[in-house]
Every structure is written in C-alpha cells, then in structure tokens.
Amino acid sequence: MIKNFLKETFSGIELIGTMNLIIGIIVAHLWSHFTSQWWSVVLGFLTVFFLIETVWHYILTDYLRDIHKVQQRNDCSSDNLKNQKGEDRI
C-alpha cells in the first residue's frame, strides 16, 4: 500500500520537476546576489528556464495521472460489465 502511494506520488516526471524547482530557487538566489555583475544575465535566463521546466513537469504529471485514473475507471467498469454478462476479459 505504501509502495503504491509513493509510486503514484513521486513519479519520475514529478521528481525531475521538483529537482528543477530546487535548482531554480538556488539559481534565483545566486542571481539576486550577483545582479550588479554583467554575467548575472546568464543566471537570470537559467532561473527562468528551470522554473518554466518545473511548471511544465508538474502539468504533465497531473495530466498523465488524470489519464491513468480515467483508464483505471474504464477498465473497472468494463470488467464489471463483462462479469455481469459472464464473459471473460480478453
């Protein structure tokens, strides 16, 4: 039960999104510290990149999780219908 919960909660895509969030926050702090330097523009671009990637990964994870739940519901309802009719699942 706990294994399934962890597997569903921390999928690979969500884990990458969380790492991107942490990296984005660290780079944002570095960027705010070195704003007077000309090369800090690179840190700004990296910050924006990592934070956009974070949002994209979380959106993708939620989308895939919803698709998985819908497929499970459809499988369960079709299994119940076949069992009521006495048919075996193919």
The confidence score (pLDDT) of residue 46 equals 93
pLDDT in tens, 41-64: 999 999 999 999 999 988 888 888
In a domain, 20, yes or no: yes
Residue pair 61/17 in contact by the 8 Å Cβ criterion? yes
In a domain, 90, yes or no: no
Share of the chain above pLDDT 70, in %: 72
DSSP strand E in 1-90: where? none
Count structural domains, the chain: 1
Which domain, by its residues, includes 77?
A: 2-85
In a domain, 34, yes or no: yes
pLDDT band at 35 (very low <50, low <70, confident <90, very high): confident
The confidence score (pLDDT) of residue 78 equals 60
Phi-psi category of 32—alpha, beta or left, where left has phi over 0 and alpha has psi -120 to 50? alpha
